[in-house]
Structure 1
Amino acid sequence: MRPPGRRDVPTARPALLLLLLSLLGAPRGVGAGVGAPAELRVRVRLPDGQVTEESLQADSDADSISLDLRKPDGTLITFVADFKKDVKIFRALILGELEKGQSQFQALCFVTRLHHNEIIPSEAMAKLRQRNPRAVRQAEEVRSPDQLHMDIAVNFSQGALLSPHLHNVCAEALDTIYTRQEDVLYWLERGVDSSVFEPVPKTSEQVELPHCGQAGDRGKPCACRYSLSLAWYPCMLKYCHSRDRPTPYKCGIRSCQKSYSFDFYVPQRQLCLWDEDP
């Protein structure tokens, strides 16, 4: 699923793709634990029908999971679930449109609260094995999409207080790390220092901002929307019953697909060009 109005980036940009791949490297959302994280590579079908490869890593020591995929237009998506801190992180590295004066790539990070029933535990993920690596997987369940209003900025220099993974995952997104006020209140109650969070333009001002797709001047602020999809991830454990066992036992996983749309403030429309076309 590509962002609304996003033009396909020509494939003749191997240098930019190599740059982004080098920035991504091995999935960097996990790996803080002493042992090497368990990795699973899966071929998956995207909502638009195209096929790509996902890399899933689980680190049971750090109690975290990461998912990485590269979309056909070159965008690199990373998702991290930090179970210890109740944090999930979404990062997008978007190829810039050089003909429109953009830099080589643009990075966005969105941080929200993690509910533990959203994805299987890290220990269970670490035990998954790929029986048929050539198979193309399609999610068994399409979960309802989330539309999230990101009205708080995250201070990158203090980000480790929220999650130790934030520094690695969002290093390229220094000034574009966003979260929601309702999630901030939850983390503050759990003892996260308030210095992690910074205000963005007041909600009343942001409501009045034009949508970036309707803003006339590229140098003026507007309300931007970015959409992404996790095409395939293990969202639930399956349990089986047997006459030989008195209690149900784990016997597999259920896979899900879920889409997210993030609305957030940008100081100039030039930073939201994917959202400018009808």
Structure 2
Amino acid sequence: MNDAHQEEQSLFEQQHKVVQKNIPYYDLKWNSVENPATKSTWNWLAFFFSTLWLAYRKMYKPFFIIAGLQLLWAVPFYFMDLTVWLDLPFYGIISIIVGLFGNRWYFNHTNHVLKQARALPEILQDSFIQAKGGTHVGIMLGLHALLFALFFAMDFGLSFIPTETNIKNVVRISGEADTLEAYMDNPKWTYIKQDGRQHVVEFTGYDYTEKEDVRIVFYVYFDKYMYEWNQIYINEKKLNEEDSIDYELYIEENSW
């Protein structure tokens, strides 16, 4: 038992060369379980900062896996009307997974670095461990700049696919749409049809201050990524041109 304990302590001491920063924390966590390679301990920093923490600790494989999942998660939002509130459980699950398994992953990462170092000539081992171990703020920032660039490129590409969701978003993400939704109960956006080069999109809601049902027909020109107000109905009665202009100006003036 003593030999096994000494061997374990010797491994931890070797891992110190890889960890380099915050060594007591990882010693405490890894010593608190029988086998830190298979047993998990909680890491609050990994929970709150997930991919930032992974990149900071140079764990590139789990970083790219989770970053890839985040990119894939965003794709369906361009093809279906999914509420952004779905992001909360998704990113919450990601945070819990990294917080729960982060210390185990890092233990195995340090062992992998040590194994790679032992395969090198002894004169190169310390330099290799120094380079592969420790932390790096620049790498963390660089990888996240790459991740944000990929998100931006994906958004730019997918948002121009003429799906019903993307067509509705031309008007739905505008300041006027935010005002309409704020003033109405049960706001709803519906894709109606394509009429020539324009797409017909309809907004419906209940104006709780005026006690009125509101229906507004928009023409969306997806090729130019613009829209225009077309018809306004209050309690299913179509407004005349002058009243329609006044209503549109009222919404516009109260928009950001």
If the length of structure 2 is used for normalisation, what is the TM-score? Answer: 0.23
* Greater RCO, 1 or 2 (C-alpha within 8 Å, sep 6+): 1
User: Greater strand percent: which structure?
Assistant: 1
User: Greater helix percent: which structure?
Assistant: 2
